Amino acid sequence: MRLRSTEPVEDVYPGLPPTYDGDTREETATVHANVDPAIAVIHAPSAMLAEQARDIQSTLSAMRHPDGRAPGSIAVIAIEASEQAAILTANIAVSAALSGLRTLIVDMEHSGFVQHRLLGMNARTGSPDDMDEPFQLVQPSSIRSLFVMAAPQQDGCAIDGSPLAPLSQRLSSLTAHFDLCLVDASHIDDLAHAAGSADCAIVAVQRDQTSTSELKAVINKMTMLNTVLIGTIMLI
C-alpha cells in the first residue's frame, strides 16, 4: 500500500506572490533577492507549501518533552523524498525565524549544503574536529533571526584517533542558544547516522510513492536506535 492524502494537488507556487510581513512586494524581492523561489514562505506565502510549513513550525515551537524541556535539535529524515524534504525544512526554518524565533538550520555536507544554496549563501565549511567549537561554522542569513551551519561529515575518527561523537552531542553546546534547531538529514542514506544527528526526528514521506511497509521499517529501526520520533510529514 502507498501512503496517500485526501489533500488536493495544486501548483505549489501559483501566480505572483502577495505581500508578506508588512513589506511591499518590491521591498521583499530586494531584501531576499538571493533566496531561492522554492522558499514559498517568502515568495508565495499563500501557497500550500508555505501554509504547511507554518503549520508544522507552530507545532514544533510548542513541542515539549515529558519533563517540560523543548527539544534541543530536530532532524528531518526523508524516505524517497530528499529534495522535497530539504525544501520543506528550509520553509519551516524561515517561517520560524520570521515569527521571531531565533532559528538554526544545520546543513549537511551529504546534500552539498543545499540549505545554503536555497538561502543564497556560501557555506563556511570545516573539518569534523571543528565541531568541537561549532559556533565558528554558524553564519547569519539574510533573513532576520535565521542562522545556518555547515556540518562536515561525521564519518571516521578525530585527529587523535578517537571515535567521533554523534552530531546531536556535538551540537548540544550550540542548540541552547536557539529557540529552534532543525537538522536537515534529508540526504543521509544511513538511517543510524541520520537518527544520531539530532535529539529527536521527523520522518518525511512522499505521497503515492512511499509504501506503508517502508515507513514501518524505518520506524522500527528508529525504535531500535532509541530515536525519539515526534511525527511524520506527508509531502504533497
Q: Mean pLDDT over all residues of the chain?
A: 82
Chain segment 70-112, per-residue pLDDT in tens: 888 999 999 988 999 999 999 999 999 999 999 999 999 989 9
Structure confidence at residue 20 (pLDDT): 34
148/104 Cα distance (integer angstroms): 6
229/201 Cα distance (integer angstroms): 5
The one-letter code for the residue type at 195 is: A
144/196 Cα distance (integer angstroms): 29
Q: Quick one: cell of 23?
A: 513589506
232/236 Cα distance (integer angstroms): 13
Residue 108 host element (H or E): strand 103-108
Contacts of 87 (CB under 8 A, 6+ apart): 38, 39, 49, 118
One CATH from 3.40.50.300, 3.40.980.10, 1.10.10.10, 3.40.50.150 for 48-235: 3.40.50.300
Structure confidence at residue 23 (pLDDT): 46
Percent of the chain predicted with pLDDT > 90: 52
| CA distances, 134 to each of 23, 125, 175 (Å) | 34, 11, 10
Structure confidence at residue 3 (pLDDT): 42
Among all chains, which residue has been given the C-alpha cell 522558499?
39
Q: How many CB atoms lie within 10 A of CB 94?
A: 28
What is the average per-residue pLDDT within 116-125? Answer: 93
Structure confidence at residue 153 (pLDDT): 78
* Structural contact between residues 17 and 43, judged by C-beta atoms closer than 8 angstroms: yes
- Spell out the domain ranges in the chain: 48-235
In this structure, of 21-25, 64-68, 95-99, 197-201, the range with the lowest mean pLDDT score is 21-25
At 232 the three-state DSSP class reads strand
- Which of 216, 209, 180 shows the shortest CA–CA distance to 85? 209
Chain segment 155-196, per-residue pLDDT in tens: 554 445 444 567 888 888 888 899 999 999 999 999 988 988
